[in-house]
Amino acid sequence: MKKKILRIISAGILSMSLCFANVSAVSADEAAPQTITGEAQIQQVESSSSEDTQKTDSEDISEDSEQGMEKPSETESVSSTSSVSEDEDTENSEPQSKAEDTETVTEAVQVSSDVENLVSAAAHITDCSSDQVAEISQKIENVQNTMDSLSEDEQDILSDSREALDNAAIAVESFQNPVSDQHFLAGDGEHMNSFRYINGQSVTEALEDVSQEGAAIEAYANGESDTVVQGLKDGTISVNTADKTDLQTEAGAADSQSILLGTKDTKEGIDVSQFQGKIDWAAVKKAGVKFAIIRCGFGDNDSSQDDTKWEFNVAECEKYGIPYGVYLYSYAIDTQGAKREAAHVLRLIKGHSLALPVYLDMEDNTQYKAGKSMIVSIANTFCSTIREAGYDAGVYSSTSWWNSVLSPIAYDTTIYQWVAEWKSSSVHASARYQMWQYDSTGKVSGITQNVVDKDRWYGDFPAAIGESPSRTSDGTGISYQAHVQKIGWESKTRCNGETSGTVGQSLRLEAIRIGISGNSNVGVAYQTYVENIGWQNQVSNWETAGTTGQGLRMEAIKICLTGADAARYDVYYRVQVEKIGWMGWAKNGNAAGTQGYGCRMEAIQIILVDKGAEAPSSDGAAVSDAFRGRTNNVSYSVHVQHFGWQEDITDGDTAGTTGRSLRLEAIQISSPLADIQYRTHIQKIGWQNGWTDEGNVSGTTGKSLRMEAIQIRLTGASASQYDIYYRVHLQHIGWTDWASNGAPCGSTGYSYRMEAIQIVLVNKGGSAPGSTSRAFYSR
């Protein structure tokens, strides 16, 4: 039977003879000041020796005094939730006779302390070396043997402690000898071993039981009445020490994440499983709970692994309008297991409308044995599978795991991050988290069986899946996620016509990922037109198109369907473009956006419909056309250090790079209107012999030689019809002024590399694009 979690301290209350201040209720934050892990726990267990067990009662009291523990005086009574009569206090002849056997009494008290240390150590076994794990295992066996030698009464008092110790032994054994396959179908409560569970039992609950029984065995040793001993054991008499103080922050208090996000908009919620029994969700909502994360199951995709309260909990949350997400306790030790666990979740959430993400609970010690690289692969595989199905995906774990094994994805904004760190005023995880599990011993009206985890969500909830239903008759849908200037990857996957990107904020789209859900026989392929690059190669099925980290805008996009069932659907898409606004809808591989105008895409909407279905509404579109491509007067392509040939650039747009210290090595120029020739000044070569005709290469490739200057001229009738202007971005100088009609532009004698170029064709005598005062540097 589970006991009360908190024991309130009061004047004259009985204190425990062994110093439990060194080990508090286990916390998900190993950095918490009163949690002992690893070697420190081993050393504390080792401190109990045969010599210690021979101490007299007076020696015990003296030692406790040195450790700052308060002992009641002979005249102090033990307080309880119900008053204890003087007769009960004085009728101690039999218990006091037990205290005469000081060796046995001290041994029982020491056993209780050792159990608490060993349970905490088992919960933090991943922090220990293999030698330390073996030592913990041996200590557990020694204490088990000692418990067997205790009196029947003492064994009865320490019954929950024995169960916790036996569970710790199983947890350590499973860590030392993980089962690679069978764990996927392990029964709930038979295999969970982590910072939260010892063989399926809550670590917090186990440690509370052990701590209460420690107080009871202390009272028994001191000759207190059976009523007092039993009251301490079952929690009707409460004991507390200073180290048990609840440090959790109050709801709405500012913490590091609210400061980071620039918001005090936090929402208080809970996460639940069958462990909480049958919940009165009406009472929970009335108590002010704003959201819930519901466990749907654990491990592999088998109905025996479903949480027995999943269907009830999800139905009640929907009934009472409580926003919810889900989590699955993970046993996956490879990516195939991750895919099966994703399938497990998707089977259970089908037909439900989640307002919050789907989380993978990563904490089991068998996963830790799989290694950091595999753990990251498991997380990525699970989350990508969930996202492809149209849901937001995330990972739950402790601060320790986020800072060590999960650190490679700690700042991945495509993955929602949920951190467990209890009894702390802030989170110490290196993660860009949206949710904090700050308490594991919460009490909430409507939950009477066991305690409940409390969580805090930062900012607004994502839009619920289901608010943008599929537009196809069979439920097949399309989802997408954009990388946005100053924001990065959007935290939420959009789907079925939702707007991805921003409107009215002048932020460019830089990259995009697209996927199909609901029909494995249809896929999606797409390509983007990118600043300084042009049309990229086509990618497919949630691969990245565009660029990240380069500050380059997407200007246009083409999307088409692939696979055996592609002919069953049409894909429509439209984009919001700088200076234009929303454009018309493109369809099935046609271009949307602009080319040749240098305008950024700022937002996109994509819709999948049945073949031949009516096109989406054009409400809000600024223009009816989906794509605008400017007629090229002059086009040019450059060969760039590290990159090779870039796509064609037109009419004054920038070819090459700026701010990256990369040299131009070669160039090609052409025009449908004019006849063009050009020549370049090359490192170690100088001005190349002769002029190059349009469409041919001037410069070098494969030799790592920089272009330093260029001349461009018109020939024949073109020379009397047009002027050609050009300027270059030069190392140490930046943009030069404009040269024209064969004049040199760049530098000679300085060894400065050309890094970028712009070329413009204008009608004869027309205005120059800018200053022409100094385009060339020579010495």
- pTM of this structure: 0.51
Cβ neighbours of 672 (radius 10 Å): 9
Identify the three-state secondary structure at position 721.
helix
pLDDT band at 146 (very low <50, low <70, confident <90, very high): very high
The CA distance from 476 to 570, in Å, is 12
Q: How many CA atoms lie within 13 A of 382 on its CB side?
A: 36
Range with the poorest average pLDDT among 387-391, 563-567, 601-605: 387-391
The last residue of one of the domains, among 404, 426, 458, is 458
Which one-letter amino acid corresponds to residue 416?
A: Y
CB-based contacts of 649: which residues, under 8 Å, 6+ apart? 532, 534, 635, 636, 637, 638, 655
Tell me the pairing of strands 627-629 and 591-595: parallel
Distances in whole angstroms, Cα of residue 278 to Cα of each of 81, 284, 354 = 28, 12, 21
Q: What is the pLDDT of residues 481-509, one digit of tens each?
A: 999 998 888 867 788 888 888 776 788 99
Q: What is the pLDDT of residues 707-747, one digit of tens each?
A: 999 999 999 988 998 999 999 999 999 999 999 999 999 99
The per-residue pLDDT for 443 is: 93
The per-residue pLDDT for 630 is: 67
> In terms of domains, do 207 and 272 share one?
no
Q: What is the pLDDT of residues 440-451, one digit of tens each?
A: 989 999 999 888
> In terms of domains, do 74 and 162 share one?
yes
Q: Confirm whether 14 is domain-assigned.
A: no
The residue ranges of DSSP E strands in 215-323, in sequence order, are: 266-272, 291-298
The per-residue pLDDT for 101 is: 45
Which one-letter amino acid corresponds to residue 285?
A: K
Q: Confirm whether 250 is domain-assigned.
A: no
Q: Is the pLDDT of residue 247 over 80?
A: no
Q: Confirm whether 612 is domain-assigned.
A: yes
464-501 in b/e form (b: 16+ CB < 10 A) is ebeebebbbeeebbbbbbbbbbeebbbbbbbbbbbebb
> In terms of domains, do 297 and 160 share one?
no
> In terms of domains, do 484 and 509 share one?
yes
Q: Confirm whether 547 is domain-assigned.
A: yes
The per-residue pLDDT for 668 is: 97
Q: Is the pLDDT of residue 286 over 60?
A: yes
Q: Is the pLDDT of residue 579 over 80?
A: yes
Which range of residues forms the domain containing residue 311? 256-458
Q: Confirm whether 464 is domain-assigned.
A: no
Q: Helices 203-221 and 102-123 sit at what angle, rounded to 10 degrees?
A: 170
Which residues on adjacent β-strands are paired with residue 327? 295, 359
Cβ neighbours of 408 (radius 10 Å): 14
> In terms of domains, do 598 and 639 share one?
no
110-129 in b/e form (b: 16+ CB < 10 A) is bbbbbbbbbbbbbbbbbbbe
Q: Is the pLDDT of residue 315 over 90?
A: yes
The DSSP letter of residue 426 is S
> In terms of domains, do 486 and 385 share one?
no
Q: Is the pLDDT of residue 92 over 50?
A: no
Average pLDDT in the chain? 80
The last residue of one of the domains, among 193, 217, 244, is 244
* Averaged pLDDT, 693-711: 96
The CA distance from 733 to 776, in Å, is 11
The last residue of one of the domains, among 578, 603, 628, is 628
Structure tokens at 278: 């049958």
pLDDT band at 41 (very low <50, low <70, confident <90, very high): very low
The per-residue pLDDT for 263 is: 44
665 versus 650: which is more confidently predicted? 665
> In terms of domains, do 171 and 29 share one?
yes
Q: What's the number of domains the chain is made of?
A: 4
Q: Confirm whether 124 is domain-assigned.
A: yes
The per-residue pLDDT for 10 is: 26
Q: Confirm whether 260 is domain-assigned.
A: yes
pLDDT band at 187 (very low <50, low <70, confident <90, very high): low
Q: Is the pLDDT of residue 246 over 60?
A: no
Q: Is the pLDDT of residue 55 over 70?
A: no
The per-residue pLDDT for 704 is: 95
Q: Is the pLDDT of residue 474 over 80?
A: yes
The CA distance from 107 to 53, in Å, is 5
Q: Is the pLDDT of residue 454 over 90?
A: yes
The per-residue pLDDT for 250 is: 37
Q: What is the pLDDT of residues 533-567, one digit of tens each?
A: 878 999 999 899 999 999 999 999 999 999 999 99
Residue-by-residue DSSP string for 297-363 = EESSS-GGGB-TTHHHHHHHHHHTT--EEEEEE----SHHHHHHHHHHHHHHHTT---SS-EEEE--
Q: Is the pLDDT of residue 615 over 50?
A: yes
* Averaged pLDDT, 128-140: 90
> In terms of domains, do 499 and 454 share one?
no
The per-residue pLDDT for 427 is: 87
The per-residue pLDDT for 239 is: 57
Range with the poorest average pLDDT among 216-220, 376-380, 428-432, 766-770: 428-432
> In terms of domains, do 593 and 687 share one?
no
Q: Is the pLDDT of residue 415 over 80?
A: yes
Which one-letter amino acid corresponds to residue 520?
A: S
Q: Confirm whether 2 is domain-assigned.
A: no
Rounded percentage of the chain residues whose pLDDT exceeds 90: 49
> In terms of domains, do 230 and 127 share one?
yes
> In terms of domains, do 653 and 757 share one?
yes
pLDDT band at 631 (very low <50, low <70, confident <90, very high): low
Nearest to 496 by CA among 519, 481, 482, 478: 478
Q: Is the pLDDT of residue 83 over 80?
A: no
For the domain that residue 367 is a member of, what is the CATH number? 3.20.20.80
The per-residue pLDDT for 190 is: 55
Q: What is the dihedral of CA 333, 338, 339, 340, to 10 degrees?
A: 70
> In terms of domains, do 537 and 619 share one?
yes
pLDDT band at 185 (very low <50, low <70, confident <90, very high): low
